Amino acid sequence: MQIDVDLGTRGYPVVIDAGLLSRAAEWLKPLARGRSMAIVTDSNLSHHRQTLETALAAADIATTVIELDPGEGSKSWATLESLSNQLLELGIERGDHVIALGGGVIGDLVGFACAILKRGCNFVQIPTTLLAQVDSSVGGKTAINTRAGKNLIGAFHQPSLVLIDPETLATLPLRELRAGYAEVVKYGLIDDADFFAWCEANGPALIAGDITLRTTAIAHSIAAKARIVAEDERETTGKRALLNLGHTFGHALEAETGFSAALLHGEAVAAGMALAYGYSADHGLCPVEDAARIGAHLRSVGLPDGLAAAGITASGATLVDHMRHDKKMAGGSLPFLLSRGIGETYVDSAVDLADVARYLDRQTR
């Protein structure tokens, strides 16, 4: 199936189909323009890389592979510099398309490199993790991390094409699959209570390997994100900010763990969503039963539902200090994604950070 991200001249198709990786040349050959294509991937993805290389070679598309170290540590100045230099050495032109084959780290890094390379060249997203397939591959947010925080250096740079093959998830470690599922749940919590109910009914089977359910979840998530991005591409009207549900709390948890494998991004988002709903319920904004329902579902699929489950013992003040580096900070205040109930997320720009710190301290008792 195909879902179009409607951004006028910057719009692009998202193609979702089982086995698509082995048929990628159908979509990539027109973009190759008879030139060699660079594939940027990580060292854990040799099987998917070989499948793609074989498919492109059969269509007479030459390729050069740039292999990076896996993990969040690669979203750095050093790796960005190295990747940019390698692409320049390959003679990448503005009209060329660089292929990002991998998860969110590869997509973010390649997208940012292409945003600044010769003041902007093209790239294609081929996400191989559930998190990237339902979230980071679409929307044009690209970035690297710094000592000050996550994704603080970056640019909006839309891909030309996104190719999603649900079969690539068969080789994904269970922990990473669960982490990606957190972003699926997010779409139900934002503004689609019926989809959250679908997740409750089907989440465990999706995690267990049902490819039909996985494809349904990916397509629904992409359609939801495409709609929001088309309404608010650069997060200026507030609509796209809803996609950050769980991220303000979650990024603080990631910062506390040093953006390490101790807590994956999706795990942090899951705990962050539970905390956002818990805070909302604690302040009488949403039903306590809704917050409990969310926690129960996250636990049912093996995701953390709060600080303790995420292994966080830091004080509320320490976590709030991490939040002060959030890129959404403006005029000394930080907008929070809170809720009036499942499917009723909203932006609150008047949240007292000292109150948040006290709430977080209560969660660690």
If we measure between CA atoms, which residue out of 68, 55, 147, 48 comes closest to residue 108? 68
212 CB-near residues (< 8 Å, 6+ apart): none
Structure token digits, residue 349 = 């720009």
Residue 15: what are its φ and ψ, rounded to 5°? -105, 130
What are the residue numbers of the active site?
119, 141, 183, 225, 235, 240, 244, 247, 251, 265
Half-sphere exposure of 245 (CA within 13 A, CB side): 28
Whether the CB-CB separation of 334 and 320 falls below 8 Å is answered with no
Distance CA 284, CA 214 (A): 35
